[in-house]
């Protein structure tokens, strides 16, 4: 079995395999080993499931992104490949020191931590460790990846909804985490799906030495020169998905706005890393940290039931590992209002369920920014990366920024509509109607955006004549003479 070959310890054996329920597309299996470790086998969705163009390489995309993030030191400085990017970096708040504590789980991880400048070493503790991958599916009949997970469970699958305080706590962490990811720049200076940009710069190979297939469905190999071109390709791909299913959409209007407002997208000159669904509740993994007064008690809820087995010693090892992970998570996602010693628990981000949806482009392209983001999320994003709370500056929401957000809202709403047609399930109609309302709202606001000015044109008061219908001076004179002649005749 592929998992057996991937185990680096000859004395470790597989104790159990269990399918993990997930709202994401890929299939995930939890593999418990005799040495106490837990691995995750990730495979593509079932073949009968209809996928959008951008979803056809999710297994390869996730592996490429995770591997690249964990091996940045070998590429030199990942955040400053050019003077333009250096200029952009100076506009973002930088942490003053690099996290000194290493989780020490593998040499790959320790090397990767050296690749993230300043505070970004902490981000590595949120990454799963890529153990093995196969793009040709020779072992299991389909592409697969094997990871050593970080623990935690999606927010959407928590047994109890987050409290108001926990929601605010997580939103602030997510905003700051998104800001930290945005400081990681494209290694080639190009825009587009991360897998296309990264795979072009660093061709990946299977363990048998064959080159991985090019993810053509994720955009042009190597990415695009401008953000407007990359965004246009992504949006056009979704529109073609919709046309394939004969979905009723305002295709001409959408394409018109994409063409006439592309100059606003080109204001984004530095391709920053953003995970489009990186703040969604079904993708964000969280873990509950135990009380400080009583000490760690293995309070991290993984949200998974381990296979039936009698291994008390393994349980102790797992509890110890959970305590270490909890400590690492606490360091990785610090807060300025840390819980008091009497607080029963504090919830922290443990990672992402799916790392495949990465894009080099505008950080505001994340779905959360187009869906009424909370004040805490915006404070975390626009504040400093050291954790200081800072209100969102008004200068960030210029007319051009608002317009870009409207274009992103239209894109995300279109994706939601098309997805409901491709994979309908419970309450699909409700979600489709909600997405259609968001799309209509965005398109109506885009109609008010001027073609060549960075501002909004106001609608004319009711009853005011259109400029196109107003008479010229000589026409006014002729019209006045005609009216006087008509009165004389009467």
106: phi then psi, degrees, rounded to nearest 5: -165, 160
Model confidence over 391-413: pLDDT tens digits?
Answer: 444 445 788 999 999 999 999 99
Mean pLDDT computed over 262-267 = 95
Per-residue model confidence (pLDDT) at position 10: 64
CA distances (Å), origin 448, targets 10, 43, 403, 438: 66, 45, 10, 16
* Stated length of the chain: 490
Per-residue model confidence (pLDDT) at position 5: 67
Burial of 337 (0-12, 13-18, 19+ CB in 10 A): exposed
Mean pLDDT computed over 14-21 = 90
Per-residue model confidence (pLDDT) at position 379: 94
> Which pLDDT band holds residue 83 (cuts at 50, 70, 90)?
very low
Residue 30: both structure tokens together? 């939890």
Residue 193: both structure tokens together? 């799906």
Q: Whole-model pTM?
A: 0.73
Mean pLDDT computed over 316-339 = 44
Per-residue model confidence (pLDDT) at position 378: 94
> Which pLDDT band holds residue 142 (cuts at 50, 70, 90)?
confident
Per-residue model confidence (pLDDT) at position 35: 85
Model confidence over 408-445: pLDDT tens digits?
Answer: 999 999 999 999 999 998 899 999 999 999 999 999 99
Close Cβ partners of 61 (under 8 Å, ≥ 6 residues apart): 193, 194, 195, 215, 218, 356, 357, 358
Per-residue model confidence (pLDDT) at position 122: 73
Rank 203-217, 227-241, 297-311 by mean pLDDT and report only the highest: 227-241
Close Cβ partners of 450 (under 8 Å, ≥ 6 residues apart): 456, 457
Residue 409: both structure tokens together? 């809202």
CA distances (Å), origin 317, targets 35, 298, 313, 323: 9, 11, 6, 10
pLDDT exceeds cutoff 70 at 479: no
Close Cβ partners of 130 (under 8 Å, ≥ 6 residues apart): 63, 66, 67, 70, 108, 145, 146, 147
pLDDT exceeds cutoff 70 at 114: no
Mean pLDDT computed over 92-102 = 33
> Which pLDDT band holds residue 4 (cuts at 50, 70, 90)?
low
The least confident of 74-83, 114-123, 249-258, 386-395 is 74-83
Per-residue model confidence (pLDDT) at position 138: 61
Per-residue model confidence (pLDDT) at position 183: 92
**pLDDT > 70 in the chain, percent:** 60
Per-residue model confidence (pLDDT) at position 134: 83
CB 193 within 8 Å of CB 200: no
Distance CA(188)–CA(216), nearest Å, equals 18
For the chain, how big is the Rg over CA atoms in Å? 26
**pLDDT > 90 in the chain, percent:** 50
Mean pLDDT computed over 2-14 = 69
Per-residue model confidence (pLDDT) at position 342: 36
Mean pLDDT computed over 449-462 = 57
Nearest CA to 362 among 389, 385, 334, 381? 381
């Amino acid at each position: 079995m592929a998992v057996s070959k991937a185990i680096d310890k000859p004395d470790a054996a597989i104790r159990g395999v269990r399918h993990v329920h997930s709202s994401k597309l890929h299939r995930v299996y939890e593999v418990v080993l005799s040495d106490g470790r837990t691995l995750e086998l990730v495979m593509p969705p079932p073949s009968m499931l209809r996928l959008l163009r951008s979803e056809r390489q999710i297994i390869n995309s996730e592996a490429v992104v995770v591997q690249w993030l964990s091996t940045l030191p070998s590429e030199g400085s990942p955040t400053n490949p050019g003077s333009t990017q250096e200029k952009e970096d100076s506009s973002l708040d930088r942490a003053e020191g690099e996290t000194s504590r290493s989780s020490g789980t593998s040499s790959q991880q320790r090397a990767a931590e050296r690749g993230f400048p300043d505070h970004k070493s902490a981000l590595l503790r949120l990454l799963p460790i890529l153990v093995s991958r196969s793009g040709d599916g020779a072992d299991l009949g389909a592409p697969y990846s094997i990871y050593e997970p970080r623990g935690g469970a999606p927010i959407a699958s928590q047994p109890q909804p987050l409290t108001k305080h926990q929601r605010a706590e997580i939103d602030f962490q997510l905003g700051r985490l998104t800001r930290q990811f945005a400081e990681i720049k494209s290694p080639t200076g190009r825009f587009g799906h991360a897998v296309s940009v990264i795979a072009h710069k660093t061709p990946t190979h299977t363990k048998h030495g064959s080159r991985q297939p090019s993810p053509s469905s994720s955009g042009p190999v190597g990415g695009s020169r401008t953000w407007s071109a990359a965004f246009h390709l992504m949006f056009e791909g979704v529109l073609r998905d919709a046309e394939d299913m004969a979905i009723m959409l305002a295709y001409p209007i959408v394409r018109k706005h994409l063409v006439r407002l592309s100059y606003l997208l080109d204001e984004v000159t530095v391709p920053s890393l953003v995970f489009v669904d990186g703040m969604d509740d079904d993708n964000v993994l969280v873990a509950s940290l135990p009380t400080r007064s009583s000490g760690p008690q293995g309070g991290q809820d993984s949200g998974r039931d381990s296979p039936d087995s009698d291994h008390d010693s393994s349980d102790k090892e797992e509890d110890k590992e959970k305590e270490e992970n909890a400590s690492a998570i606490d360091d990785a996602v610090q807060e300025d209002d840390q819980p008091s010693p009497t607080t029963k628990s504090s919830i922290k981000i443990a990672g992402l369920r799916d790392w495949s949806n990465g894009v080099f482009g505008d950080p505001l392209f994340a779905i959360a920014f187009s869906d009424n983001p909370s004040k805490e999320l915006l404070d975390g994003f626009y504040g400093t990366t050291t954790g200081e709370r800072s209100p969102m500056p008004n200068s960030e929401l210029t007319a051009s920024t608002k317009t870009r957000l409207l274009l992103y809202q239209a894109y995300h709403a279109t994706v939601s509509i098309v997805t409901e047609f491709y994979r309908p399930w419970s309450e699909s109609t409700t979600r489709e109607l909600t997405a259609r309302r968001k799309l209509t709202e965005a398109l109506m606001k885009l109609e008010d955006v001027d073609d060549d000015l960075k501002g909004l044109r106001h609608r004319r008061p009711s009853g005011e004549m259109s400029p196109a219908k107003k008479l010229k001076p000589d026409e006014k004179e002729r019209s006045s003479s005609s009216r006087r002649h008509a009165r004389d005749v009467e």
